[in-house]
Amino acid sequence: MGREAAHPHHGPGEKAAATRSPPGPRSPALTASCTSYHRTLHRFAVFAAAYTVLLIVAGALVTSNDAGLSVPDWPTSFGSIYKIPHMVGGVKYEHTHRMVAESVGLLTIILCLWLWRADRRRWMKYLGAAALLMVIIQGVLGGITVLYFLPPLVSSAHAAVAQTFFCTLIAIAIFTGREWIEEPPEKQVDPRRPTLFTLCLLSVGILYVQLFLGAMFRHHGMSWWPHVLDAPLVAAIVGWTAARALVRHSANHSIRRAASWMLGLLLAQIFLGFLAFELRVVWGHNAVQPETPMVLSTVAHVAVGALLLGATVVLTIQAWRQRAAGASAHVSTEQKVAAA
């Protein structure tokens, strides 16, 4: 009798519905309860991502000063692995770039090993390994650009992989943060089409196209006009994405913060792009060597472009988390209704 009271009788349909109703889906990326927050690991990931901006700036200085072949050999520098050459002319840019790249490689090795040891999420271990693989590929591409005298496609791929590596470190910094691990995701269904997540993916894609076109122009693989003509489309899509996030998803502080950064960086990038075009293409097209205003505007344009892509990746991650949490809550509600 006690067992029967504890389990009241169900009709055939009700019993089948209760049997077929599994618990709502839970993505391991949404709630990181399987691991704990490591403040030192998170800060190290943030430092590694920030340090990578220095590497991107160093690379832009090499290209903007036409110093790509100032050190003619690789992986050695003037025949030596450890000796620092005379830092004069273009050598100071190229060799400094190599030293910063080596430092980034060391940081990535440490980060990868730390993730495998301290983070219990398997996909985070793989993400750390992916970052390490990318930094190796990046070094090999950099070497090929020297050995084969700066082929534009390889040099542009070198720039694209650098940006992808930077975005991967940003993702690691987010996923190791206290907010991601300890705070539950905000659940909100996005009824508008296209969704914010779709707009974010579109923004990341169009930014990569613009990045590659700009790299091909800087490495003398194509004219400036494809990069310039694509700029209004980039501004429209990225601006649309940031505005949608700020207007429709302002209650989510993570989304609001990323979208605000996106919008500010987009405005700065438009100004810097115009300035770099005027100084390098209009004013400095007959310059015997790059002048300081040309170099500074181009380097700033590259750096802010990397930050804009990074902010867009952050918004994409947060939009995906909100979307997945909202879908999970919607499915769970439907299952409860079906089981009632």
Q: How many residues does the chain have?
A: 340
Q: Which CA distances in Å does 336 have to 69, 135, 327?
A: 66, 47, 14
* pLDDT over threshold 90, residue 57: yes
As given in the structure block, the two tokens for residue 172 are: 């690691």
* Cα 1 from chain centroid (whole Å): 62
Region for residue 295 given its phi and psi (left: phi exceeds 0; alpha: psi -120 to 50; beta: otherwise): alpha
* pLDDT over threshold 70, residue 182: yes
In terms of Cα–Cα distance, which of 263, 267, 276 is closest to 228? Answer: 276
DSSP 72: -
Reported pTM: 0.87
* pLDDT over threshold 50, residue 14: no
* Cα 275 from chain centroid (whole Å): 25
For residue 192, what pLDDT band results from cuts at 50, 70 and 90? confident
Q: Give the SS3 label for residue 77.
A: strand
In sequence order, what are the residues at sequence separation of 6 or more whose Cβ sits closer than 8 angstroms to the Cβ of residue 5? none
CA distance 158 to 137: 9
79 CB burial (10 A radius; 0-12, 13-18, 19+): exposed
More confident call, 209 vs 7: 209
As given in the structure block, the two tokens for residue 236 are: 């429209």
* 159 contacts 301 by C-beta, under 8 angstroms: no
* pLDDT over threshold 70, residue 80: yes
Sign of CA dihedral 276, 278, 280, 284: negative
| pLDDT tens per residue, range 215-225 | 999 999 999 99
CA distance 124 to 126: 5
225 CB burial (10 A radius; 0-12, 13-18, 19+): exposed
125-134, 167-176, 248-257, range with the lowest pLDDT: 248-257
As given in the structure block, the two tokens for residue 190 are: 């996005």
* pLDDT (average), residues 326-331: 56
CA distance 77 to 179: 44
| pLDDT tens per residue, range 94-142 | 999 999 999 999 999 999 999 999 999 999 999 999 999 999 999 999 9
Backbone phi, psi, residue 195, to 5°: -70, 165
DSSP 85: P
Q: Give the SS3 label for residue 118.
A: helix
CA distance 158 to 144: 9
* 125 contacts 115 by C-beta, under 8 angstroms: yes
* pLDDT over threshold 70, residue 291: yes
CA distance 335 to 24: 8
List beta partners, residue 88. none
As given in the structure block, the two tokens for residue 205 are: 């894609």
List beta partners, residue 80. 77
Domain ranges for the chain: 35-183, 186-340
* 325 contacts 185 by C-beta, under 8 angstroms: yes
